[in-house]
């Protein structure tokens, strides 16, 4: 895309550059709004406002202040807007606005849209973006109605509606921001609230293309290979994580042991599904067993579906790598999935996402270890994975970190929201070479 600087000079910006600048602009505007006196109660610094804005725009949920107490109603509304903009994506809003001004999009704009939303067909961009917008409003509206009814037992209508709106937007966009100091731990035994919020972040994390495919075809056999893969993998991950977390925490008196069987099931389900990018918690994260903490980090690393509000490497990336390894061990000529072959380029792309994300986490973790020698090893690793995968879960050390460490977390959140591949393209734009080189055998393994 070209932006005119002077009459005879233009600035060439790639789609990843546009996305990055868009998110930076949102963070800047959000930071300015959050530092205004009308936004807080006088105990929020510039750095804390920038951190909150970054966390909201990248739909992470990490916070160095108590959002419910530190910010006014206006400040909370600003956070809601930042969560919505970050969840749907700056490019989605930009392209939607461009579509409303012009009946047809130019080729350059279509390519920019294609890269920003991960769509392979230029003809489907308009339908996809409209679907993203409408689906978001639809599910958030349903969540707001249900949560308003649930919270009317404890608050008046205005308070219940405001809480419901905030949590619906935060949950569907996998933001993880909470207005209560202990997240959702106070509602661990209120099934309607926990179940509604869990369904919001699960649906938001499936991916809009999959939701549109399900709505259009309605039958499993008619769904695309991508939709079948995402839905079956998410179901398998949620079910296995639910059983595993329940088993690991059932004897832990700090989490599930003292609960009734019904409460155990609900909270085990909530914690099994929440690490996929949401950031809420109904159990004390720092009291989980080490095994459960490891499982949680693994789930955070995987994340949700592509073109969704979730973070991580994405479910499709994870399963493609797993299937590729299995196919190699079986010495199969091609990688097959639901009676379809997977292109070699897709496998390379999946491996690149995994490697770049792992490198991002390793670099951030090493930096935190150097800057925070007195902090617990596991706490810092958990914080790093949570930030890089834009999840927002924490073992309670975020507010204890020094500014330099918080800056590292902000960079991780920003890079994680942009997406590993987008970041890679942004740093080093791939170039095609006409020169072909002879093959060489390299010893591997």
pLDDT value at position 114? 53
pLDDT value at position 195? 92
**What's the Cα-to-Cα distance from 381 to each of 25, 274, 377, 395, rounded to whole Å?**
29, 18, 6, 10
Residue ranges per domain, the chain? 16-120
pLDDT digits (tens, 9 = 90+) for 107-144: 555 555 555 555 545 556 667 777 788 888 999 999 99
Q: pTM to 2 decimals? A: 0.87
Between CA 181 and CA 185 the distance in angstroms is 9
Other CB atoms within a 10 A radius of the CB of residue 295 amount to 20
Please tell me what DSSP assigns to residue 152: T
Class of domain 16-120: mainly alpha
Other CB atoms within a 10 A radius of the CB of residue 166 amount to 23
Residues whose CB is less than 8 angstroms from the CB of residue 98 and which lie 6 or more positions away in sequence, other chains included: 105, 109
pLDDT value at position 102? 46
Grade residue 267 by pLDDT with cuts at 50, 70 and 90: very high
Q: Is the pLDDT of residue 393 over 60?
A: yes
pLDDT value at position 90? 59
Residue with more model confidence, 190 or 439 = 190
The mean predicted confidence, pLDDT, of the chain is 85
pLDDT value at position 15? 62
Q: What angle do helix axes 107-117 and 90-101 make, rounded to 10 degrees?
A: 150
pLDDT value at position 101? 47
Between CA 119 and CA 128 the distance in angstroms is 8
pLDDT value at position 270? 94
Grade residue 274 by pLDDT with cuts at 50, 70 and 90: very high
**Hey, CA dihedral for 157, 163, 84, 118, is it positive or negative?**
negative
Q: Which long-range contacts (CB under 8 A, 24 or more apart) does 46-49 make?
A: 47/403, 47/406
Q: Is the pLDDT of residue 199 over 50?
A: yes
89-119 as b/e, with b when 16 or more CB fall inside 10 Å? bbbbbbbbeebeeeeebeeebbebbbbbbbb
Grade residue 332 by pLDDT with cuts at 50, 70 and 90: confident
How many distinct helices (H) and strands (E) make up the chain? Answer: 18, 4
pLDDT digits (tens, 9 = 90+) for 354-368: 999 999 999 999 999
Please tell me what DSSP assigns to residue 427: H
**Hey, CA dihedral for 190, 192, 195, 200, is it positive or negative?**
negative
Q: Is the pLDDT of residue 7 over 60?
A: no
Please tell me what DSSP assigns to residue 250: T
Between CA 417 and CA 206 the distance in angstroms is 16
pLDDT value at position 106? 56
């Amino acid at each position: 895309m070209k932006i005119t600087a002077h009459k005879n000079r233009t600035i060439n910006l790639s789609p990843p550059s546009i996305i990055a600048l868009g998110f930076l602009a949102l963070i800047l505007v959000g930071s300015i709004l959050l530092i205004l006196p009308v936004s807080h109660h006088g105990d929020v610094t510039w750095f804390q406002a920038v951190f909150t804005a970054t966390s909201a725009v990248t739909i992470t949920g990490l916070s160095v202040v108590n959002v419910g107490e530190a910010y006014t109603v206006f400040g909370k509304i600003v956070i809601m807007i930042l969560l919505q903009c970050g969840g749907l994506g700056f490019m989605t809003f930009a392209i939607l606005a461009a579509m409303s001004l012009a009946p047809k999009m130019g080729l350059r704009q279509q390519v920019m849209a294609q890269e920003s939303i991960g769509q392979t067909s230029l003809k489907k961009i308009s339908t996809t973006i409209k679907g993203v917008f409408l689906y978001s409003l639809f599910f958030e509206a349903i969540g707001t109605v249900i949560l308003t009814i649930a919270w009317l037992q404890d608050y008046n209508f205005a308070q219940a509606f405001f809480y419901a709106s905030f949590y619906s937007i935060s949950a569907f966009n996998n933001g993880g921001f909470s207005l209560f100091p202990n997240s959702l731990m106070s509602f661990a035994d209120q099934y309607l609230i926990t179940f509604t919020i869990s369904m919001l972040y699960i649906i938001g994390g499936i991916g809009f293309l999959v939701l549109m495919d399900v709505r259009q075809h309605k039958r499993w056999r008619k769904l695309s290979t991508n939709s079948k893969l995402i839905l079956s993998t998410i179901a398998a991950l949620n079910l296995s994580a639910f059983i595993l977390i329940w088993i690991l925490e059932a004897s832990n008196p700090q989490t599930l042991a003292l609960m009734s069987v019904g409460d155990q099931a609900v909270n085990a389900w909530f914690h099994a599904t929440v690490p996929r990018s949401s950031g809420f918690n109904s159990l004390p994260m720092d009291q989980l067993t080490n095994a459960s903490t490891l499982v949680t980090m693994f789930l955070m690393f995987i994340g949700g579906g592509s073109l969704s509000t979730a973070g991580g490497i994405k479910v499709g990336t994870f399963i493609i790598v797993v299937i590729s390894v299995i196919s190699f061990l079986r010495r199969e000529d091609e990688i097959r999935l639901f009676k379809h072959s997977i292109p070699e380029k897709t496998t390379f792309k999946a491996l690149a996402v995994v490697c770049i994300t792992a490198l991002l986490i390793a670099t951030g973790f090493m930096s935190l270890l150097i800057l925070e020698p007195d902090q617990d090893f596991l706490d810092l690793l958990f914080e790093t994975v949570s930030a890089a995968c834009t999840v927002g879960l924490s073992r309670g050390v975020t507010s204890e970190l020094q500014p330099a460490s918080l800056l590292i977390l902000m960079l991780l959140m920003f890079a994680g929201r942009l997406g590993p591949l987008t970041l890679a393209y942004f740093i080093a734009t791939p170039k095609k070479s006409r020169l072909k080189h002879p093959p060489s055998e390299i010893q591997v393994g």
